[in-house]
Amino acid sequence: MLLLACGDRRAAVCPACAERYRRDTWHVVAAGLRGRAPSVPGGPDAVPDSVAGHPVVLATLTAPSFGAVHRAGARPCRKRVGPLVCEHAMRAWCDERHGDGERLVGRPLCWDCYDYSGHVLWHSAVPELWRRTVIYTYRALARLGSARSGIPITVRTVREQLRVSFVKVAEFQRRGAVHLHAVVRLDGVAGEGVAAPPAWADSALLEDAIRDAAGRVAVSLPVGGRVARWGEQLDVAPIADPARAASYLAKYATKTAGDVLSGLPPRRFGRREVGRISRRVDNPHTMLLVLACLRLSRTPECAGLRLAEHVHMLGFRGHFATKSRSYSVTLGTLRGVRRAWRARERAERVGAADPWAGQDEGTVVVRDWRFVASGWARLGDADLAATLARDHAAMRDAEDLVTVARAGDLW
Ligand SMILES: [Zn+2]
Ligand SMILES: [Zn+2]
Ligand SMILES: [Zn+2]
């Protein structure tokens, strides 16, 4: 029997593997912002330093309002405007100043006013909203580029000269809706490699184009002629500190909805488990979203949205972290490079080739593996692993402190 790391991205499932995933994600994001030297000779993980000169922004796209919720912050939660109560006789205002950790934050002022179906349906449209936002960004680059330079630039020219590269992560907010944080970079088009974009395409143009695209994009939903759009709150800003931006994105890459909405499991669950889950979820808002998702999943109109498979993400079926092909190295490449580096290091240390590297002639490769189980066979093993993981984490934190002190970086 061979023990392997599970490799799970989610900190709620496996803290050790998630920590590695977070660090790898950091490298993927950072490499796309400042380039990357190959870590093994001729490594496939190299990204040219010239990317540091490309126009790049950090964009945050938000969900629209599905109903007033309690907000944390220094200002009073909800001002009195209009009627004092809603049609369900619930108070329509709140003059408290909520702290971040308060249970009330993210919960609606009125459960009946809150549009639970709209929330879940919007989640189901987020991947398509993003896909169209990228397409609309190309169009906006042509339109705004023409207006600025005075030379007519067609969408076709833009596609021939520019590529919109990105890496993005999803963040669940307290109200249970996702935000997308995306690093968006403009590249020139030159075969497979990464080239500098033409001079007319600068950061300011990219910023305006994303704002324009996010404001226009819409996806029609299968229920009641509804349309999904981004929320009004849109943040697009240049990136001053690549390491900080990379940390910011990497932090969200290991999260699940349950990290914010406590009690919500990180894995898929069905109708029969709702009773058990509702005992662990102390927030009625979360349960109402779960029930809305389950209810919609049974309607014929929503059959294509695969809601039943994504109840644990409240209907959001996108990936938590994705990147366009040419943005940077892939996580798979980083893993491959790490394997190669380890094999080399072991060979130098032990003086023998690593049979797992499998490159030597005459190595017999056994491919007949069968999955037995995940977890530990004995309690003693589990205990030992937990102790080692703790020590390891403490060591990593100490190393991080040293690095921070030395480089002034975030880690
Ligand atoms: Zn693991
Ligand atoms: Zn409030
Ligand atoms: Zn109401």
DSSP 158-210: HHHHEEEEEEEEEEE-TTS-EEEEEEEEEEEEETTEEEPPPTT--HHHHHHHH
Ligand 2 center from residue 99 Cα (angstroms): 10
168: β partners:
182, 322
Question: For residues 70 and 109, is the Cβ–Cβ distance under 8 A?
Answer: yes
What is the 376 CA–ligand 2 centroid distance (Å)?
45
Phi, psi of 190 (to 5 degrees): -150, 85
Going from the Cα of 68 to the center of ligand 2, the distance in angstroms, rounded, reads: 9
The pLDDT value recorded for residue 397 is 78
Element of type H or E holding 321: strand 321-323
Ligand nearest to the CA of 71: 2
Calculate how far, in angstroms, residue 390's C-alpha sits from the geometric centre of ligand 1.
14
Q: Residue 239: inside a domain, yes or no? A: yes
Ligand 3 centroid to Cα of residue 118, in Å, is 15
Neighbours of ion ligand 2 (CB under 5 A): 70, 77, 94, 96
Residue 175, in any domain of the structure: yes
pLDDT of residue 243: 94
Q: Is residue 364 part of a domain?
A: no
Structural domain contains residue 215:
yes
Residue 14, pLDDT score: 87
Per-residue pLDDT tens listing for the chain (411 residues): 777 888 888 888 888 889 999 999 999 999 999 998 887 777 788 888 999 999 999 999 999 999 999 999 999 999 988 899 999 999 999 999 999 989 999 999 999 999 999 999 999 999 999 999 999 999 999 999 999 988 899 999 999 999 999 999 999 999 999 999 999 999 999 877 788 999 889 999 999 999 999 999 999 999 988 999 999 999 999 999 999 999 999 999 999 888 899 899 989 999 999 999 999 998 999 999 999 999 999 999 999 999 999 999 999 998 888 999 889 988 888 888 888 888 888 888 877 666 555 555 555 666 777 888 888 888 888 888 888 888 888 887 787 776 655 554 443
How far, in Å, CA of 11 to CA of 174, rounded?
18
| Rounded distance from Cα 224 to ligand 1 centre (Å) | 43
CA dist list (Å): 375 to 16, 122, 267, 378, 389:
13, 36, 16, 9, 14
What residues form DSSP beta bridges with 72? 98
| Cα 378 to middle of ligand 1, angstroms | 17
Q: Is residue 347 part of a domain?
A: no
One-letter amino acid for residue 242 of the chain: P
- Assembly ipTM: 0.91
Q: Closest-lying ligand to the alpha carbon of 91?
A: 3
Ligand 2 centroid to Cα of residue 165, in Å, is: 40
CB atoms within 10 A of CB 162: 25
Note down the domain range covering 263. 50-66+115-323
The ligand placed nearest to the CA atom of residue 69 is 2
Cα 373 to ligand 1 centre (Å) = 13
Q: If you measure from the C-alpha of residue 70 to the centroid of ligand 1, how many angstroms do you get, rounded to a whole number? A: 36
Number of domains observed in the structure of the chain: 1
295 alpha carbon – ligand 2 mean position (Å): 29
Residue 340: inside a domain, yes or no?
no
Is 20 inside a domain boundary?
no
Q: Ligand 1: distance of its center to the CA of 14 in Å?
A: 5
- Ligand 2 centroid distance, CA of 84 (Å): 14
Can you give the pLDDT at residue 409?
44
Task: Tell me whether residue 6 is in a domain.
Answer: no
Q: Is 173 exposed, middle or buried (0-12, 13-18, 19+ CB in 10 A)?
A: middle
pLDDT value of position 149: 86
User: How far is ligand 3, taken at its centre, from the CA of residue 220, in Å?
Assistant: 26
